[in-house]
């Protein structure tokens, strides 16, 4: 079986599991365990691990394509997958030495789900600083980490955790530490009852334990060097693919409804209907074009931290969040109360609307616009990536 065929079969299995449980997972704010189990058993979690380590050998384009497809069925499942891939790529690119030699084949099997622990109560989701100390002693790091949001934290097999470096003298000297589940004691410190993204089960957690000191990803205190080329771009590309997939899936269901069951409600020759459909489709095509261009720019530049590329990556996140939610809002208006607002509709547009409302808040658009404003002032010649 070819690699492409194997990936296709894996995605189909995950899609089937996600579709079977999406409504219940959203209703109860439960983690999509069946979908994650399918990702593990098919090895899909190893998609972005290089083939020489036993992984799928995929790139950013593969991440986008798979995330888009998953989000058409369940945006929470797509976000879980995309965020896991962000963690995997951080390990692939920045882990080194004997630890990397041990870890990459494990990740390549595709049955290890990685969760991200980067939020803190005092700083929110700001990545480049930390308030959490770690103690180094006799070749081990002692972790005591309190995080208000850990997506899928109760179900992860391992974690990438941001902390201050042991000898840090400023809040910006942040390390990224890998910890297996069996190296930690986990305490869930609250529930998860959000408006949307309900199946991500992003609960508050405290993680304590001791890990070998060589389980730091990258240089100690140098997490900033991982954020610019890897963490930031992978997050914004993966999130944007999930938002776009959710919106395109919703539009597809609406179009089938108009063509089939909805002929008594909709007149396919209506100028108002056609104009509204054109606006929705136009928003999604614009996001898709920006997403694909950003992937090409990130893969093609020797320096992802270059201001023009950083501006593009941040703009992708902002515009994808705004345009996909605006498209969902217009789709609600288009199909009306019964199919746009009621939870009982088979179009489940109401769920997509709730999910996409989170997009601008998931690492706030306002924060990225402030960064882009400062970057714009530095680029007087207006170089476009």
Per-residue model confidence as pLDDT tens digits over 336-359: 999 999 999 999 999 999 999 999
User: In the structure, what pLDDT confidence band is assigned to residue 1 with cuts at 50, 70 and 90?
Assistant: very low
> What is the structure's pLDDT at 194?
97
Span 181-202, average pLDDT: 97
Determine the Cα–Cα distance for residues 229 and 161; give it in Å rounded to an integer: 18
Per-residue model confidence as pLDDT tens digits over 62-120: 999 999 999 999 999 999 999 999 999 999 999 999 999 999 999 999 999 999 999 99
> What is the structure's pLDDT at 332?
97
Determine the Cα–Cα distance for residues 226 and 292; give it in Å rounded to an integer: 22
Per-residue model confidence as pLDDT tens digits over 252-278: 999 999 988 766 788 888 999 999 999
Assess contact for 11 and 66: CB atoms under 8 A: yes
Per-residue model confidence as pLDDT tens digits over 205-239: 999 999 999 999 999 999 999 999 999 999 999 99
Report residue 153: phi and psi, to 5°: -60, -30
Q: For the chain, what percent of residues have pLDDT higher than 90?
A: 91
Determine the Cα–Cα distance for residues 374 and 22; give it in Å rounded to an integer: 41
Span 32-57, average pLDDT: 97
Checking if the pLDDT of 177 tops 80, the result is yes
Task: Report residue 130 as tokens.
Answer: 């930390």
Determine the Cα–Cα distance for residues 299 and 304; give it in Å rounded to an integer: 8
Assess contact for 78 and 70: CB atoms under 8 A: yes
> What is the structure's pLDDT at 3?
55
Per-residue model confidence as pLDDT tens digits over 6-18: 788 999 999 999 9
């Amino acid at each position: 079986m070819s690699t492409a065929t194997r990936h296709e079969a894996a995605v189909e299995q995950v899609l089937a599991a996600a579709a079977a449980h999406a409504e219940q997972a959203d209703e109860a704010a439960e983690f999509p365990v069946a979908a994650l189990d399918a990702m593990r058993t098919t090895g899909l979690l190893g998609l972005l691990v290089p083939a020489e380590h036993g992984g799928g050998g995929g790139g950013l384009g593969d991440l986008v394509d798979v995330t888009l497809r998953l989000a058409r069925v369940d945006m929470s499942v797509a976000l879980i997958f995309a965020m896991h891939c962000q963690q995997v790529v951080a390990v692939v690119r920045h882990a080194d030495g004997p630890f990397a030699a041990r870890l990459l084949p494990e990740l390549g099997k595709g049955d290890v789900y990685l969760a991200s622990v980067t939020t803190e109560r005092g700083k929110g989701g700001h990545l480049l600083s930390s308030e959490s100390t770690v103690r180094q002693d006799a070749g081990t790091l002692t972790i005591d980490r309190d995080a208000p949001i850990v997506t899928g934290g109760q179900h992860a097999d391992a974690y990438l955790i941001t902390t201050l470096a042991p000898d840090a003298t400023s809040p910006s000297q942040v390390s990224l530490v890998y910890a297996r589940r069996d190296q930690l004691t986990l305490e869930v410190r609250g529930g998860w009852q959000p408006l949307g993204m309900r199946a991500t089960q992003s609960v508050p957690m405290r993680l304590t334990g001791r890990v070998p000191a060589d389980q730091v990803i990258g240089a100690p205190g140098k997490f900033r060097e991982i954020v610019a080329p890897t963490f930031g771009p992978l997050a914004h590309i993966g999130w944007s693919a999930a938002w776009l997939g959710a919106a395109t899936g919703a539009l597809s269901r609406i179009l089938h409804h108009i063509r089939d069951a909805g002929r008594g409600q909709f007149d396919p020759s209506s100028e108002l209907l056609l104009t509204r459909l054109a606006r929705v489709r136009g928003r999604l095509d614009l996001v898709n074009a920006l997403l694909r261009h950003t992937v090409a720019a990130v893969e093609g530049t020797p320096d992802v931290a270059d201001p023009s590329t950083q501006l593009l990556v941040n703009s992708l996140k902002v515009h994808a969040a705004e345009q996909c939610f605006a498209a969902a809002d217009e789709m609600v208006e288009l199909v009306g109360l019964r199919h746009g607002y009621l939870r009982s509709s088979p179009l489940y547009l109401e769920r997509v609307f709730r999910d996409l409302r989170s997009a601008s808040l998931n690492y706030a658009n306002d924060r990225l616009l402030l960064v882009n404003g400062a970057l714009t002032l530095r680029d007087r010649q207006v170089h476009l990536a």
